[in-house]
A and B are shown apart, each in its own frame.
Chain A
C-alpha cells in the first residue's frame, strides 16, 4: 500500500515537473513573441544548461540573431551542437548551416554534409533540400544534378516549397531529369500556392509563354503580381510590362484576386 502511495506520489511529482517545464516553455515563447528576448533567455538558459535540447536550440537562435544577448555566433554553434548531439533535428540543420556559412565555426563542407545527411535520414525536409543544393553546386560532394534533383523531389513531396520551386526549375531546364514542362508547372504551382515568390514569378512566366499550361494573360498577371507584391524585382518589372498591354478592366479584376490571396502551407 505504502509502496503504491510512493509510486503515485512519484507520478504526481513527475507530472507536475513536466507541467511546470512546459508552462515555462510557454512563458518564454510568449515573451519571445512580445519581443522580450531577455525574459526568453532567462528561461531557456538554465533549461539549456540542464541538457534540454529544445531550450538549447532556442538559446542558439537568441545568440545567432543577437536577441536578448549580444550576437555571438560561436555560442550559437555551441548550443546547437549540444542539441544536435541529442539528435534534435532543427539544431542539426542549423549547425550544418553554420558550417556551410563558416559562421561561428570554421567553414567545413565535409562536416556540414555529415550533419545534413543525419537530418535527411531523420526525414527533415529542409536538410534534404539543402543537401540537394550541395549536390547541385558540388560543394563538399561530387557535383551531380541527378542526385540534386532526386533530393529536391524527396523534399518537394514532403511539401518543402523551396524544393518544389527547384524541382520545377529542374523539370523546366532538364537538369538531372528529362525536360517536362507540365511537371515543371505542377511543382511551381505547389510552391506558388504556399507563397514562394520565386515560384509565383516562374508560374506567371509559364502562363505568359503557354509552356506546360494553357497560355493565359490573366493568370500570368495574377501570379506575377503576387510575386511583385512580395518585392521580387524581376516580377515588379514584368508586371509593369504586362499592365501596359492588358485590358485595364481585367487588370482590376486580377488585383482583387491578388488582394484575396492567402498562402496555404502544406506542412508545419
Chain B
C-alpha cells in the first residue's frame, strides 16, 4: 500500500536529483530562470568528485530543503489531519516530512551522470504560481517530462510541487498519507516517516 506512493516519487526523484544539487538560486528574474540555474549548476556539481559521499548527500539535502517550500508542502500533504494534530505532532511531523522529502529525492545522488535539463516553457498556473515545463534527457532510458510549480515566497522562488507525466507529487502523497492516518492514526504516519528516513539514511557497513 505504502510502496505505491513511492513509485511516482521515485520517478520524481530521478528528476529532482540532477536539478537540486546546484545550490541555491538567488534573485532570479523569472521562475524559468530559477529552475534553469538550479538545473545547470546541478549538472556541473554532480560531476564533481570532491568530498565524501555522505558530505555530498548532506549538502544536497540542505539545498533541496532550501529550494522547496517544505512547510507548505508538508501541511498540504497532511490535509485536514494537520488541524487535528497537536502542536507537538505538527512539529515532529514537519521535521520528519522534510527528511522524508529530501531523502526520497536524494536517494539517487551520485547514480546519475550525463543528464541534461532543458526548460521548454512556462505558464501561469494562477496569479501566484508559475509552472515551469522541463525535459530531462538521460543517457539511459527515455527523457522525462517534469513540470515544476514555483511560487514566490518572501521574494524567493520556491518549488511547491512537481508533476511527472501528469502525476502531482503532492497529491499522490496526500492520498497515501490519508490512508496511513486512517489505518494507524497520525502517530502511525509519523512512525512510518521515521522508519523510512532511518532506512534511507543508512550507510553500508565496512566489515
By a beta-carbon cutoff of 8 Å, the part of chain A in contact with chain B is: 22, 25-26, 28-29, 32-35, 37, 40, 44, 54, 57-58, 61-62, 64-68, 71, 73, 76, 90, 93-94, 96-98, 100-104, 107, 126, 130, 133-134, 137-139, 198, 230-234
B53 and A29 within 8 A (CB): no
How far apart are the CA atoms of A103 and B191 in the complex, in Å? Answer: 13
Task: Looking at the assembled complex, report how far the CB atom of B72 sits from the nearest CB atom of chain A, in whole angstroms.
Answer: 11
How far apart are the CA atoms of A58 and B206 in the complex, in Å? Answer: 9
* CB within 8 Å for A133 and B191 given contacts A29-B204, A54-B205, A104-B3: yes
Can you name 10 A-B pairs with beta carbons within 8 Å?
Answer: A25-B207, A32-B53, A37-B110, A57-B204, A58-B205, A65-B107, A65-B200, A67-B108, A98-B199, A100-B194
A64 and B199 within 8 A (CB): yes
B3 and A137 within 8 A (CB): no
B172 within 8 A of A: no
B196 within 8 A of A: yes
Give the secondary structure class of B's interface. Answer: helix
Give the secondary structure class of A's interface. Answer: helix
Give 5 nearest A-B pairs by CB, closest first.
Answer: A35-B110, A58-B204, A97-B195, A137-B187, A100-B195
Range class of the B interface residue count: 35 or more
A61 and B202 within 8 A (CB): yes
* CB within 8 Å for A68 and B3 given contacts A61-B204, A97-B198: no
Q: Name the residue on A nearest B203 (C-beta).
A: A61
Contact of B111 among A44, A67, A73 (CB under 8 A): A67
B65 and A231 within 8 A (CB): yes
Task: Looking at the assembled complex, report how far the CB atom of A164 sits from the nearest CB atom of chain B, in whole angstroms.
Answer: 16
How far apart are the CA atoms of A140 and B179 in the complex, in Å? Answer: 18
A100 and B95 within 8 A (CB): no
A68 and B53 within 8 A (CB): no
How far apart are the CA atoms of A102 and B1 in the complex, in Å? Answer: 7
B195 and A35 within 8 A (CB): no
Q: Name the residue on A nearest B102 (C-beta).
A: A231
B192 and A102 within 8 A (CB): yes
How far apart are the CA atoms of A93 and B204 in the complex, in Å? Answer: 13
Task: Looking at the assembled complex, report how far the CB atom of B155 sits from the nearest CB atom of chain A, in whole angstroms.
Answer: 15
How far apart are the CA atoms of A18 and B203 in the complex, in Å? Answer: 23
B109 within 8 A of A: yes
A32 and B204 within 8 A (CB): yes
B195 and A98 within 8 A (CB): yes
Task: Looking at the assembled complex, report how far the CB atom of A38 sits from the nearest CB atom of chain B, in whole angstroms.
Answer: 8
For A101, what are the chain B residues with a Cβ–Cβ distance below 8 Å? 2, 192, 195-196, 199
A198 and B110 within 8 A (CB): no
Residues of chain B in range 142-190 having any CB-CB distance to chain A below 8 Å: 184, 187-188, 190
For B190, what are the chain A residues with a Cβ–Cβ distance below 8 Å? 137
B37 within 8 A of A: no
For A62, what are the chain B residues with a Cβ–Cβ distance below 8 Å? 204
Contact of B98 among A130, A139, A231 (CB under 8 A): A231
Contact of B198 among A35, A126, A139 (CB under 8 A): A126
For B6, what are the chain A residues with a Cβ–Cβ distance below 8 Å? 71, 73, 103
A71 and B205 within 8 A (CB): no
For A234, what are the chain B residues with a Cβ–Cβ distance below 8 Å? 91
Interface-central residue, A67, A103, A104, A126, by most chain B CB under 10 Å: A103
Task: Looking at the assembled complex, report how far the CB atom of B142 sits from the nearest CB atom of chain A, in whole angstroms.
Answer: 15
Task: Looking at the assembled complex, report how far the CB atom of A98 sits from the nearest CB atom of chain B, in whole angstroms.
Answer: 7
How far apart are the CA atoms of A233 and B93 in the complex, in Å? Answer: 12
For A137, what are the chain B residues with a Cβ–Cβ distance below 8 Å? 187-188, 190-191
Q: Name the residue on A nearest B107 (C-beta).
A: A65
How far apart are the CA atoms of A107 and B195 in the complex, in Å? Answer: 12
* CB within 8 Å for A103 and B53 given contacts A66-B111, A232-B95: no
Residues of chain B in range 94-127 having any CB-CB distance to chain A below 8 Å: 94-95, 98, 107-111
A139 and B204 within 8 A (CB): no
Contact of A231 among B66, B91, B191, B196 (CB under 8 A): B66
Contact of A97 among B98, B184, B199, B205 (CB under 8 A): B199
Task: Looking at the assembled complex, report how far the CB atom of A155 sits from the nearest CB atom of chain B, in whole angstroms.
Answer: 13
For B49, what are the chain A residues with a Cβ–Cβ distance below 8 Å? 34-35
A35 and B187 within 8 A (CB): no
How far apart are the CA atoms of A68 and B110 in the complex, in Å? Answer: 9
A71 and B107 within 8 A (CB): yes
B200 and A107 within 8 A (CB): no
Task: Looking at the assembled complex, report how far the CB atom of A49 sits from the nearest CB atom of chain B, in whole angstroms.
Answer: 17
How far apart are the CA atoms of A76 and B94 in the complex, in Å? Answer: 27
